[in-house]
Copies of this chain bind each other. A is one copy, B any other.
């Protein structure tokens, strides 16, 4: 599949690399391609990573979204996602599936960040309202990027959540997740896009556990009786 990944952070890089390994044609979207490639301000700069990943395209948000056949990953910073999707423009986004991996964490009042919106709304719903033709599917946002594409990093069974209004879109996403290594029994469909609130609200306890456990190698599991 021709897939676009919006965002050049660790999440975007990790997902783009995995998709590439799986044989998809992948492009990454960024605000300004030249600036992104010129920025070598530290070792983690995208430009260094990109030197060994030239088989992955690098385009503007708009061109990347237009390249995507059917699936776009939103791996941008949650507080900027709506603005970035507006830069990608509605006609490039079309009625494609957007997999919303972002968390709307607001760091403007210091640590710990708050969720914005937090409670009676979610980023996923905001995206769906702003671009009604997009098929928004919220998933992957409740864990570290390493785990997203390699669930075996944490032993045993653990859960991944999926929210969205379009059942066919959710099926496509579940198959992609399955190709990432997620067992079908561990993919929990929460329901329509409003259920993304619950998934986004896992972030505050996730960040606290990250701090306390000293590792990102953990995940939520919904323990049930067999």
Contact = CB atoms under 8 A, between A and B. Distances in A.
A20 B195 CA distance: 39
A190 B208 contact: yes
Given A119-B119, A155-B226, A220-B222, A188 B202 contact: no
Nearest to A122: B204
Contact of A120 (B114, B161, B205, B224): B114
A184 interface: no
A141 to B, nearest CB: 12
Contacts of A190: 205, 208-209, 212
A17 B67 CA distance: 62
A223 B219 contact: yes
A116 B118 CA distance: 11
Contacts of A211: 191
Interface residues of A, number: 45
* Integer count of this chain's copies in the complex: 2
A201 B198 CA distance: 8
B217 A224 contact: yes
A162 to B, nearest CB: 11
Contacts of A215: 224
B155 A225 contact: yes
30 contacts: A109-B120, A114-B119, A114-B120, A115-B119, A116-B119, A118-B118, A118-B119, A118-B201, A119-B119, A119-B204, A154-B225, A156-B223, A157-B223, A190-B209, A195-B205, A198-B204, A198-B205, A198-B207, A201-B202, A201-B205, A202-B202, A209-B222, A213-B224, A217-B225, A218-B223, A218-B224, A219-B222, A220-B221, A220-B223, A221-B223
- A-B pairs with lowest CB-CB distance, top 7: A198-B205, A118-B119, A198-B204, A201-B201, A158-B223, A221-B223, A221-B221
